[in-house]
Amino acid sequence: MSGNNTRMDLGRPMSGRRRLKDLLLQKDNRVCADCNAPDPKWASANIGVFICLKCCGVHRSLGTHISKVLSVTLDDWSDDEVDAMVEVGGNASANSIYEAYIPEGFTKPGPDAGHEHRAKFIRSKYELQEFLKPSLRIVSGKSSIDSSSSKSFMDSFKSSSSQRTEGMVEFIGLLKIKVIKGTDLAIRDIKSSDPYVVLNLGQQTVQTSVIRSNLNPVWNEERMLSVPEHYGQLKLKVFDHDTFSADDIMGEADIDLQSLITSAMAFGDAGMFGNMQIGKWLKSDDNALIEDSLVEITDGKVKQMMSLKLQNVESGEIELELEWIPLDQ
């Protein structure tokens, strides 16, 4: 009976967001699983823990094959992701496995720990699995854990011996990208294409869904990326999905984030200002802009709309909306 309480209310299914919120309100989930900072607003969906913003940055550095990070309040969660969190049961349950044995020389970081201490502990805990009991260690992608309550999130780990680990990265903010639509995209099949968009920033890559047989697709899909201190350009590529061969590229564009980020950071708390223009990325022969792209404060949020002409292809345009999200949000 108790197992149904997280899913049902007077006989009606609870929404995923409500179930997630109820789980977050449990006592052990009111502090970060990795440093005990209060009021965590992030989670590793495949591990099953709630984490704070500082630890979230380290988790993102590990890669999604280790930890898939989602915002409790900003991201959309699938039913499967919520189910996985509920099945694990929260921080105490996960830590009973991942912190079963902390050897001499390691100390768990506190809320005010430095980045180096925090990064070393989190990497040792999840990627290297140094705090698991030997009987629970995962070998070649398989675990000796038999408990069904642990299986769902332990199965998501693979042997880290073959993975190349990038250096830990400090993040300065978050970038929400709304891929709105494509126009007059190139034909890569007989009469049409099955397009999808891939976005890359540093070591992070996200992509939209595939839209079948459409040269003017409408996605209206949001994706989130962490912005590293040395962020460089946001890379956009459009591909045609092929079932039996490699996907064909349908154009690309480089997006300069400097105007958005420098303007947003200069103004600070955007909620203190009314709607106004605060920056601009100018169209030139050296970029993919169709027209100047304005950075504006809209309803307390820093946003930038842009229309891009895809490069290295016969035709195609992409419309995006970028939103800067500061780390304290």
User: What are φ and ψ of residue 224, in 5° steps?
Assistant: -120, 135
The conformational region for residue 63 under phi > 0 = left, psi -120 to 50 = alpha, else beta, is left
| Nearest C-alpha neighbor of 75 from the set 103, 97, 42 | 42
* Domains and their CATH numbers in the chain: 16-127 (1.10.220.150), 171-326 (2.60.40.150)
Q: Give residue-wise pLDDT tens across range 138-170.
A: 443 333 333 333 344 344 433 333 333 344 567
Q: How many helices (H) and strands (E) does the chain have?
A: 7, 17
The average confidence (pLDDT) of the chain is 84
Confidence check: pLDDT of 5 > 60:
no
Q: How many CA atoms lie within 13 A of 163 on its CB side?
A: 17
Q: Helix, strand, or coil here: 181?
A: strand
Residue 70 burial class via C-beta count within 10 angstroms: exposed 0-12, middle 13-18, buried 19 and up: buried
Given 3-state DSSP classes, what are the helix, strand and coil percentages for the chain, each rounded to the nearest 5? 25, 30, 45
∠ CA 252-256-261, nearest 5°, is: 140
Nearest Cα to 55, choosing from 109, 11, 133? 109
Beta bridge partners of 103: none
Q: What are the pLDDT digits (tens) for 167-176?
A: 456 788 899 9
Q: CA–CA separation, 78 vs 230, rounded Å?
A: 31
Residue 194 scores a pLDDT above 90: yes
Inform me whether the pLDDT recorded for 12 exceeds 60.
no
Q: Which residue has the tokens 């969190």?
A: 85
pLDDT band at 18 (very low <50, low <70, confident <90, very high): confident
Q: Tell me what pLDDT residue 201 has.
A: 93
- The reported pLDDT for the residue numbered 101 is 86
Look at residue 57 and tell me whether its pLDDT is greater than 80: yes
| pLDDT tens, position by position, 223-281 | 999 898 888 999 999 999 998 889 999 999 999 999 999 889 888 888 888 899 999 99
Is residue 8 over pLDDT 70? no
Is-above-0.85 flag for pTM? no
Residue 97: the pLDDT is 86
Residue 136 pLDDT level (bands cut at 50, 70, 90): low
Query: What percent of the chain lies above the pLDDT cut of 70?
Result: 84
Using the predicted structure, report yes or no on whether residue 211 has a pLDDT greater than 90.
yes
User: 247 near 239, Cβ under 8 Å?
Assistant: yes
Give 245's Cβ-side CA count (13 Å radius).
5
Q: Where is pLDDT greater, at 136 or 99?
A: 99
Consecutive H or E run containing 218: strand 218-228
d(CA 321, CA 239): 20
Alpha-carbon span 25 to 30, nearest angstrom = 6
- Model pLDDT, residue 304: 97
